[in-house]
Amino acid sequence: MDCTIGIDVSTTGVKSILVSQDGGVLADSLVEYSFSSPKPGWAEQDPVEWYKATLESLKNLSQKSRSLMGNVVAIGITGQMHGSVFLDKDNKVIRPALLWNDQRTFKECTEIETKVDKSKLLEEVANPALTGFTLPKILWLKNNEPNNFIRLRKVLLPKDYVRFKLTGVYATDVADASGTLLFDVKNRKWSDFMLNTFDLHREWLPECFESPEIAGYLMKGAADYCGLKQDTPLIAGGGDQAAGGVGNGIVEKGLVSVTIGTSGVIFVSTEKPSVESGGKLHTFCHAIPGMWHVMGVTLSAAGSMKWFAEKIGPEVSGNSTNEPGKNVYQQIDAQTAEVVPGCEGLIFLPYLTGERTPYPDPSARGVFFGLTNRHGKPHMARAVMEGVAFSLKDCMNLVSSMNINIKKVMVSGGGAKSSLWKQITADILEKDLVTLNTTEGPAFGVAILGFVGTKVYKDVPTACKSMIKEVAVTKANYDNFGIYRKLYSIYANLYPALSPLFKEL
């Protein structure tokens, strides 16, 4: 049976999975790394570490399934979006990459909107200037590190740097390119207007492909190291959200995915490039040729729970928090399950790294609101879950305002492994949440694209129908709707009230 490999170059590590054409995940491998924060609001990684982790992950995968490596017909690649890899004329990395959640480019966003007003940006690139996007990062390099900017010869997105190292080809895809602020999303090509306006060279950017297209072939050195065939095709792939959309079966209009990963995402497929009037939702090309998607982003979703687990942690039982057979998140779930919906008046704003939707504000900060001496760690943990779900509701409300008919909602991401968090999210969104046969999201999505790019399946919807199965439904609990509607009305008023103080702080 034919197989593909899906690679996800994420913020926390590289995961590779081996997938059969019937949708089975035959093996997986994860190699983790960290990111640095040299200053508050900054987030950087060394691209070379991504490549090393990719090689190790593929090697591990090969060792687990050596007998199946000869059946691999294609490799798909996905990863964190928006990050900036700056290369010199010798293809050496000039400086650490600025990541999607890096907030240092506030002044550059102002510079962009001074030269191109918001309405013109929406017309040209379908999105406003946000700190996470790639163009502000290039301008930051120009404004703050001119000696490095002079050396610049190529700008690549994270997964595309790894692709270059594997294939020797400069390439990207329309979905990932959509998040650069340099891409004509409506016409699916680089924007000459934006390049000319900001005096950037077209040759700095890679060739752009539709996501299922073959964009390069595995070179001998990497193939030998990883135990794979030389010249195995690498398809163009997609940014993690579009790839995750494919992996969650969001391949026709009216289907929605809710992802509770490091960031939280509401993702909706559309048949045309629909732009939210205020530009609060992203409009990007989908990883499916001829389709687009709209997306709202909560910057710190499962990232908020990771922060809570590391900095505050579960309630201590005796002398240890180590309950047999349970990791820290399972312990938190178990201790939090007894807390009533609404956390007895405790609300959490999940703006630990600023916010994207509906408040594009790098100055926003995390807040526990309503603390009393009644509240303990379990209340705080549930408040984190509810606060993230309220932020996702902000995104879902914007989708509803665009008159998009929502037929079905799929849920995925690390946070969706918690049945409690899924139930909270279903109750706050007032939507049933469908769980699928895979939790691999983006990596699974590009594995699907690999089968399409090599003609095992004729198109993406056909592949998804064959490879993706619904396995469970979390039913929204009507009894909790009133509690959460009342609490959400308070939550929704907190950011407007605190916004001036965030900026002053």
Q: pLDDT, tens digit, for every residue of 187-216?
A: 999 999 999 999 999 999 999 999 999 999
Question: What is the distance between the alpha carbons of residues 40 and 103, in angstroms, rounded to a whole number?
Answer: 9
Residues contacting 470, CB < 8 A, separation 6+: 434, 435, 436, 437
Q: Percent of the chain beyond pLDDT 70? A: 98
Q: Tell me where in the chain the CATH 3.30.420.40 domain(s) lie.
A: 3-248+441-471, 298-397+475-504
Q: What is the pLDDT of residues 276-316, one digit of tens each?
A: 878 889 899 999 999 999 999 999 999 999 999 999 988 76
Mean pLDDT of the region 252-259: 88
User: What are the tokens at 351?
Assistant: 């703006």
pLDDT of residue 407: 87
DSSP β-ladder status, 13-20 and 3-9: antiparallel
**CA geometry: angle at 290 spanning 288 and 292, to 5°?**
70
pLDDT of residue 211: 97
SS (HEC) of 280-321: CCEEEECCCCCCEEEEEEECCCHHHHHHHHHHCCCCCECCEC
Q: What is the pLDDT of residues 208-240, one digit of tens each?
A: 999 999 999 999 999 999 999 999 999 999 999
Residues known to be catalytic: 240
Question: What is the distance between the alpha carbons of residues 201 and 194, in angstroms, rounded to a whole number?
Answer: 10
Q: Which residues pair with 110 in a beta bridge?
A: none
End-to-end CA distance of the chain: 59
**Burial class for 274, CB neighbours closer than 10 Å (0-12, 13-18, 19+):** middle
> Is 230 in contact with 223 (CB distance < 8 Å)?
yes
User: Considering only CA atoms, which of 72, 57, 93, 51 is closest in space to residue 5?
Assistant: 72
HSE-CB at 107 with a 13 A cutoff on CA atoms is 7
Mean pLDDT of the region 247-275: 89
pLDDT of residue 318: 43
Question: What is the distance between the alpha carbons of residues 258 and 241, in angstroms, rounded to a whole number?
Answer: 11
Architecture of domain 298-397+475-504: 2-Layer Sandwich (3.30)
Mean pLDDT of the region 432-442: 86
**Options 3.30.420.40, 3.20.20.20, 3.40.50.920, 3.40.630.10; CATH of 3-248+441-471:** 3.30.420.40
pLDDT of residue 276: 83
Mean pLDDT of the region 91-113: 94
What single letter denotes the amino acid at residue 225?
A: Y
pTM, two decimals, is: 0.86
Quick count: other Cβ atoms within 10 Å of Cβ 258? 28
Question: What is the distance between the alpha carbons of residues 505 and 500, in angstroms, rounded to a whole number?
Answer: 9
The yes-or-no verdict on residue 317 having pLDDT over 50 is yes
SS (HEC) of 112-142: HHHHCCHHHHHHHHCCCCCCCCHHHHHHHHH
Mean pLDDT of the region 126-142: 95
84: left (phi over 0), alpha (psi -120 to 50) or beta: beta
**Helices 118-125 and 106-115, packing angle to 10 deg:** 90
DSSP β-ladder status, 408-412 and 255-260: parallel
pLDDT of residue 319: 39
The yes-or-no verdict on residue 444 having pLDDT over 60 is yes
pLDDT of residue 324: 54
Q: What is the pLDDT of residues 16-60, one digit of tens each?
A: 999 999 999 999 999 999 888 898 889 999 999 999 999 999 999
Mean pLDDT value across the chain: 93
